[in-house]
Chains A and B, each alone.
Chain A
Amino acid sequence: MNPNELGRRPLLALSLITLLLVAPHFVRLDLRISLAFIAVILLRLASLYLPRLHPGRWLLLGITLAGAALIFTLYPLLIGLPAKVALLALMLGLKLMECRRRRDLYVVVFLGYFTLSTHFLFEQGMLLVAYAFVLVIGLSGLLIEASRATSRPGWPLHSLRLAAGLTAQSLPIMLVLFFLFPRIEGPLWNLGVDNSTGKTGLSDSITLGSISQLIRSRAVAFRVDFDQAIPPPRLRYWRGPVLWHTDGRRWSRGRLVETGPVTFRSDADPVGYQVTLEPSPNDWLYALDLPETLPAGATLSADYQISAKNVRNRRYRYAASSRLDYHTGALSERQRRLGLQLPDTVTSRMRALVAGWRAGTDSDRQLVSRALQFFRSEPFYYTLNPPLLETNPVDQFLFDSRRGFCEHYATSFTLLMRLAGIPARVVTGYQGGQRNPLGNYLIVRQSDAHAWSEVWLAGSGWTRIDPTAAVAPERIERSFEFDLDENADPGVPVIFASADSDLLRSVMKQLRLGLDAANASWHRWILGYSRQQQQSLLQLLGFGSLSEFKLALAMVLTTAALLPLLLLLLRRRERIRPDPVQGDYVKFCRRLARRGLVRQPHEGPRDFARRVIRQRPDLQRQVSAIVNLYIALRYGPSDDPQQRRRLHRLVRGFRA
């Protein structure tokens, strides 16, 4: 058999590795593409054992065209990364079909390395990196095994060990490049990634029902490390967009154009923390009520909302501090006007309700408690699936359905306050969060999304009022965990889970928390390694003054300098280490070489001495003394330390 012809074993290994290479893409690709790919691999494997199943050239061409047609119908114009990945995966599978020679295997293996790197365009998790490492070793092992002149039977353990060794040797280079190579701000691979898919988060407006959709997602919104003890749940209000304007159905931010320093008074101690925000399509950051110090580059609006540039669609880590007890001071005329804005949908029933409260009270503060009392005593229920509210949602909710979710309570409460003449606004964000005892940080999920109210009271300024807490205090006091399936029917009140009694469930929870802790450190230390951190590392190493270009240049030059050194070292290792006698002789030869009497590498000592003496008769005495001594010590039977020292002395005293 032609040695370049591929046998069954390498083809089998190649097919399986290709399947594993593409496997993580299955979740991102259209199901039909994944199935087509698996079918191609299966056909390849089957035709290994039943050669008549192997498609001929024309059939293969047909399959290829069909695959291309499939891709172009599913992804017209090949827009977006998944389209390109689909094309790559399918063609990689088809390439296997025409693998006959060793050269084809090389092509597939190198395509495989490339395919492996495409995973990182979508995800950079810890598990994926481990998976990629295993596959790199597999691919390299295959490459080594295929390059052997004759294949060996049995498991290719030797090749795999060699591949693992090579991969391990590349680790230091990888680390150096990772830590020192100039970082490009913002992930490069965001170019062309389809960001709108699968990203969830708060938006800057709410309609009734938008948060209850969000709450079904267990995805992590952000994680928080506190500098001190984590505050209790009832104080963990993560402030997001503040909504002023309503048309009766929808709440949006309105036009609050107030610039200048934003201040508030507070006697409480500041609470410092670092937030690692998961990628979101928004340009605002979350902070505890109320934020005091902001991350660099961020600005605080008059309604205490933090906005920042360049934070969209990337994992962003920032530090902030807040004061949990505060007084915001006087109210500006514009804020008062916005805070009292009313939609056209106000009904007489609502006016009558508020008028009734107003009649019995003399202060705004009392009126607020009357309103909360109303929510508490009337049969309001907290549910994830409120009945559909049609023409006038607030009115319907307050007087008819009385089943709703935080956004129902927050918006209707705010509207009622405005009817009573108290400036009020809706604040959206997250509330609570789950403490991870492994790593001691807070995980805030999309399911923690929340909306609440703020009213302006003469005594305390803007004051947070959470009407949801009046209806369902469990929602605020405990982390929001319940089985979504159990609460699926419309209008059914949420049953909050009690403590985790089930052993299996608690173990699972522990495992999830452990995995999340590992992932959080991964995100924080590896993926979150930013330009600033690199700068501080370089400062620490003393390279702070180098510009990025110089740094890259220095790395290239260092590599260029190290390579010959490495080569030299490798060659040196092959040579036998000379003993002292040989060392002296080598020195002697070097001294003669400087006078043009170069010993040939294969020239023996006696021949060399004879030649030297012929050319330099004046050296005869010295040279023959040294060479005779050397011959006796190196080739003779005796090994006399005294003679060795004598040789050393002679060589040291020798001048050509």
Chain B
Amino acid sequence: MKQLLDQVVMEAGKIIVGKEHTLRLALTCLLANGHLLIEDLPGVGKTTLAHTLARLLGLQYQRIQFTSDLLPADIIGVSVYHRGEESFQFHPGPVFTQLLLADEINRATPKAQSALLEAMEERQVTIDGSTRSLPLPFFVIATQNPAHQIGTFPLPESQLDRFLMRLHIGYPDARAERVLLNGEDRRSLLEQLDPCLNLEQLRALQQQVARVHVSDALLDYIQALLKFSRHSPRFNHGLSPRAGLALINSARAWALQAGHSQVLPEDVQTVLSATVAHRLHSDSDTGVREGAGLAQFLLESVPLP
């Protein structure tokens, strides 16, 4: 199994150069059956990353470009009257897919955002009184620009909470950038990619995640982290139980992709920043990227039990 996942990472590394750790985290997020939010400046490869993952995992793939005039119907679909059959017929929207890339999600109005976020949580949509299930698996990879950019509607905390992880890609280092500048066009490379996994393999991997052993000692550690976040004056509010679950699931998935049969505190620490940074706020909100600093502070403040 590990080889399989390593191969996914290696193939993806051909497109997204020099970002192995980020790729592994993204993969971890999907293995843990969670939605992924990628936040970074335009042009660092957010969309490419999402696209690459969709291709490699062999998933059906749709993309929505969020704009300020996007309507919920543009996401979930619309019923149209057919004159010939004299009835309404439902035209599914782009949400009916296995992997949805929601590009620049914070450019849309809250109304459109919440239509998607509802679908993410329930994994089903309700239109005209009838409930329609979304395909399985169903992942959302959303990208957003940093909140301080003009023309954005920042996601509220309750909606941020639905993403298992938030990743930053960041600028490539000099050597990777050289390869990038020197190499072929990414788009044509993407076309050439072959899927490494099929649906059954993905499902089996997801089931394996749940079987990775979590000992009492590790649960003590997770509880210590949660407790500290709730009592330390540095945080505006503590981590929720949902955040605790997210932490365990991500750590399990990380341990699996790293080839371990049990979760170690290091696994928790590796996924900590990605998993909790978007759920933490300090009392004096400095805005940009403070979550990562807070997560690091949390990590360094809590000793292993």
User: Which A positions have Cβ atoms within 8 angstroms of B?
Assistant: 576, 582, 600-607, 631-632, 634-637
Contact = CB atoms under 8 A, between A and B. Distances in A.
Contacts of B299: 602
Contacts, number: 47
Contact of A601 (B262, B263, B303): B303
Nearest to B269: A604
Contact of A606 (B218, B266, B302, B305): B266
Given A602-B299, A634-B215, A636-B213, 4 more contacts: A576-B220, A601-B303, A603-B304, A604-B269
A80 B133 CA distance: 93
B124 to A, nearest CB: 36
Contact of A604 (B213, B220, B301, B304): B304
A577 to B, nearest CB: 11
Contacts of A603: 304
Interface in B255-305: 261-266, 269, 299-305
A188 to B, nearest CB: 47
13 contacts: A600-B300, A602-B301, A604-B269, A605-B266, A606-B264, A607-B266, A631-B262, A635-B215, A635-B263, A636-B262, A637-B213, A637-B261, A637-B262
A635 B217 contact: yes
A79 B192 CA distance: 107
Interface in B203-225: 213, 215, 217-218, 220
A634 B261 CA distance: 13
Nearest to B212: A637
Interface string B174-212: 000000000000000000000000000000000000000
In order of increasing CB-CB distance, the 3 nearest A-B pairs are: A601-B303, A604-B266, A604-B265
Contact-size category for B: 10 to 19
Contacts of B266: 604-607
B300 A636 contact: no
B302 A602 contact: yes
Among B213, B220, B302, B304, max chain A CB count under 10 A is at: B304
Interface string B230-273: 00000000000000000000000000000001111110010000
A213 B219 CA distance: 84
B291 to A, nearest CB: 18
A605 B220 CA distance: 15
Contacts of B269: 602, 604
A102 B162 CA distance: 45
Nearest to B263: A635
Contact of B304 (A601, A631, A636): A601
Contacts of A600: 300
B215 A636 contact: yes
B215 A602 contact: no
Contacts of B300: 600, 602
> Which among A582, A605, A636 has the highest number of chain B CB atoms within 10 Å?
A636
A637 B264 CA distance: 12
Contacts of B217: 582, 634-635
Contacts of B302: 602
B277 to A, nearest CB: 17
A297 B299 CA distance: 75
A574 to B, nearest CB: 11
Contacts of A631: 262, 264
B254 to A, nearest CB: 13
A605 B264 contact: yes
A604 B264 contact: yes
Contacts of B265: 602, 604-605, 635
B220 A635 contact: no
Which of B217, B299, B302 has the most chain A CB atoms closer than 10 A to its own CB? B217
B305 A635 contact: no
Nearest to A610: B266
Contacts of B301: 602
B8 to A, nearest CB: 23
Contact of A602 (B213, B262, B263, B304): B304
B234 to A, nearest CB: 16
Contacts of A636: 213, 215, 261-262
Contacts of B262: 631-632, 635-637
A635 B262 CA distance: 6
Given A602-B299, A604-B266, A606-B264, A635 B218 contact: yes
